[in-house]
Amino acid sequence: MSEKITDFKRFAQITDTRWYPRYHLAAPSGWCNDPNGFCFHNGQYHCFYQYYPYGAEWGLMHWGHAVSDDLAYWKHLPIALKPDKPYDADGCYSGCAVEFDKKLYLMYTGNLKCESGHIQTQCLAKSDDGVHFTKSENNPIIRAEVSGEIHCGDFRDPKIWEHDGKFYAVIGSRTPDKNFGQVLLYESEDMEHWNFKSIAARSERNLGRMWECPNFAEIDGYDVLIFSPMELDTADEKFFNDRQAGVLIGKLDYETGKFEHGDFQTLDEGFDFYAPQVTKTPDGRTILIGWLDTWHVDMPESVDGWAGQMTVPRELHVRDGKIFSTPVKELENLRKWQEVSYENLFLTEPTALKDVEGDACEIVLNVDAKRSEKFAIAVRVGDDEQTCLIYDATTETFTLDCDESGESPKSVREFSVKPTDKVKLDIFIDRSSLEIFINDGAKVISSRIYPQRKSQKIVFMPLTDSLAIDSVSCHKLDFGLPHPHVKDTEVNLKNQFPFLE
């Protein structure tokens, strides 16, 4: 068994909050990756996450836990799962939450190291109060040995949904030769007993050698499989990261368990976006939250005692066979100050607008693209640093330039857009992140950036003759989660974060 940790005094301590998010969900300290168990239960949204509380690097995985009444303001709850059983001793990996029989059930992957790699199985935990979880005595409840077509070391991240009175689960996997990612489908009547049904979908040609974190949702009459393929071939121009989350849109045949689908579509064009999860709201919307980071990149915040944050919650739609994501309307609850807005600006030189600036704000911008052939908007601008979004109507491309963003610059990412007469941008800026929703969510680009705290300016730049802005508004956004205290003496984390134990 790996290290055994029970002492809260060893929790990571935050030493500087310069990059700690103001309204994006993050762990109170330490490391977080994938969102887990995203659900609505007993009047609240729950978001769990992969959590290593003892350091700002990936380690022995626990499940952190936060709740929100409105998807805008979050509260931390005690750690929900610890790797304390023989079947999950090397980590409680990603999984889901589902309400059944008035209880909240978690299904997660128990990870065990062995000589040849890992053994991964699916395990259950349940809770009456939505806070304290008891692991099932029948764990592990799903093992990979049902089919010779499954690699049992890569068999993880279950996500359950209900259909016609039955439970279904998708589980991420790969073929035994490790060459093709795939999603497995299981079914159950009672949550404890699960039968293997099918390999619902598998990588064809180049779509990753392992599929992680599958999710399934019915959106606007379509079945949508959301997943995070890894080991993508980046020589193929379609993929810019070797892991990239996206969707297949199609139809699941519940009789055969086969998923017929169209081409893979990415959910985000950015440098940092992975392992998203979805849930349904009580009014039927499908909401996604993702990890606003990815693997094997620099995370400069780790020197400050934390690492990793989530995206804002996003609403998903399918229009004309394409996936759209927009920020949830509840984020407007964070607009606690009078907005600053301007209309009908015709700029012929780089311009900063009074009170349109910040390091925790939302900018809503409508541009008349017919009179703005090429323009840029630079955010988090300061001495020698800026992050730039450039639009070029002649090539129908957007470019995010993070070359001068601050610490750990990320280079440039370019992607094409369908030409439109109006360009509409909804930009969420936080202490170390940027999320840009383009043309009502037709494209999204997200990145972590690490500017200095004082770099808060925003500059609008015509790059040919002019930039014609129909309207622009700036909303300063409130603190959406508890802000950590920084102490330079020895910190007693039990006082600082009483909710942790």
Q: Which residue, 271 or 398, has its beta carbon nearer to ligand FRU? A: 271
Assess 212 for contact with ligand FRU (CB under 6 A): yes
Question: Under a CB-based contact definition with an 8 Å cutoff, are residues 358 and 369 in contact?
Answer: no
Asked if residue 244 binds ligand FRU (CB under 6 A), the reply is: no
Interface with ligand FRU, residue 293, by CB under 6 A: no
CB of 172 to ligand FRU, least distance (A): 6
433 binds ligand FRU per the rule CB under 6 A: no
Nearest distance, CB of residue 201 and ligand FRU, angstroms? 17
Of the pair 109, 386, the CB lying nearest ligand FRU is at: 109
- According to the binding rule CB under 6 A, does residue 357 interact with ligand FRU? no
> Which one of residues 13, 94, 121, 122 is an interface residue with ligand FRU (CB under 6 A)?
94
**Near ligand FRU by CB under 6 A: residue from 275, 312, 340, 458:** 275
Smaller CB distance to ligand FRU: residue 275 or 493? 275
Residues pairing with 135 in the sheet: 125
**Cis, bond preceding 21 (omega within 30 deg of 0):** no
The residues that bridge with 123 in the sheet, in sequence order, are 108
- What does the alpha-carbon distance between residue 330 and residue 477 come to, in Å, rounded to a whole number? 12
**Of the two residues 34 and 272, which places its CB atom closer to ligand FRU in the complex?**
34
Q: How far is the CB of 336 from ligand FRU (least distance, A)?
A: 33
Q: Which is nearer to ligand FRU, 154 or 362 (CB)?
A: 154
Give the shortest CB-294-to-ligand FRU separation in angstroms: 8
What's the closest the beta carbon of residue 156 comes to ligand FRU, in angstroms?
5
Residue nearest to ligand FRU (CB): 93
Under rule CB under 6 A, residue 109 binds ligand FRU: yes
* Nearest residue to 38 via CA among 65, 10, 78: 65
Please, which residue, 276 or 484, has the CB nearer to ligand FRU? Answer: 276
Cβ proximity of 427 and 439 under 8 Å: no
Both structure tokens of 463: 């790059």
Q: Which residue matches tokens 């205290």? A: 485
How far apart are the C-alpha atoms of 208 and 242, rounded to whole Å? 8
Compute the least distance from the CB of residue 123 to ligand FRU, in Å.
12
* Rounded distance between C-alpha atoms, residue 276 and residue 497, angstroms: 27
Using CB under 6 A as the binding rule, whether residue 387 contacts ligand FRU is answered as no
One DSSP character per residue, 136-174 reads -TT---B-GGG-TTS-TTSEEEEEEEEETTEEEEEEEEE
- Do the Cβ atoms of 429 and 379 come closer than 8 Å? yes
Residue (22 or 174) nearer to ligand FRU, CB: 174
Beta carbon of residue 210, minimum distance to ligand FRU (angstroms, whole number): 8
DSSP summary character for residue 312 = P
Residue 88 touches ligand FRU, criterion: CB under 6 A: no
Min dist. Cβ of residue 401 to ligand FRU (A): 27
Question: Per CB under 6 A, does 213 bind ligand FRU?
Answer: yes
Figure out which of the listed residues 157, 330, 426, 435 binds ligand FRU, where binding follows CB under 6 A.
157
Cβ distance 368 to 347 under 8 Å?
no
- In angstroms, the Cα distances linking 86 to 107, 110, 114 are 16, 9, 13
Helix (H, G, I), strand (E, B) or coil at 334: helix
* Placement of tokens 């090397």 in the chain: 90
DSSP 53: T
- Residue 156 as a binder of ligand FRU (CB under 6 A): the answer is yes
Taking CB under 6 A as the criterion, the residue among 50, 68, 215, 455 binding ligand FRU is 50
Q: Which listed residue (7, 16, 34, 177) is catalytic?
A: 34
> What's the min distance (Å) between Cβ of 58 and ligand FRU?
7
Alpha-carbon distance values, 164 to 125, 132, 187, 188 (Å): 24, 30, 12, 12
Give the list of residues 6+ apart from residue 281 with CB closer than 8 angstroms, or none: 40, 287
Closest listed residue to residue 463, CA positions, set 300, 347, 321: 347
Q: Does 34 contact ligand FRU by CB under 6 A? A: yes
Q: What is the 3-state secondary structure (H, E, C) of 274-299?
A: EEEEEEECCCCCEEEEEECCCCCCCC
Determine the size of the site formed for ligand FRU (CB under 6 A). 13
Q: Is 70 one of the catalytic residues?
A: no
Binding map of ligand FRU across residues 56-85, x = CB under 6 A, - = no contact: -----x------------------------
Rank residues 35 and 327 by Cβ distance to ligand FRU and give the closer one: 35
| CB-based contact 240:413 (threshold 8 Å) | yes
Separation of alpha carbons 340 and 347, rounded Å: 18
- In whole angstroms, the minimum distance from the beta carbon of 141 to ligand FRU comes to 17
Contact 225, 248 (CB under 8 A): yes
Question: What DSSP character marks residue 238?
Answer: T
Cα–Cα dist 409/450, whole Å: 8
Choice between 61 and 318, CB closer to ligand FRU: 61
Q: Which of 33, 68, 203, 279 binds ligand FRU (CB under 6 A)?
A: 33
- 212 versus 357: smaller Cβ distance to ligand FRU: 212
**Does an H or E element contain 361, and which?**
strand 361-368
> Binding residue for ligand FRU (CB under 6 A) from 23, 74, 93, 196?
93
Residues found near ligand FRU in the complex (CB under 6 A): 33-34, 50, 61, 93-94, 109, 156-157, 212-213, 274-275
Residues forming the active site: 34
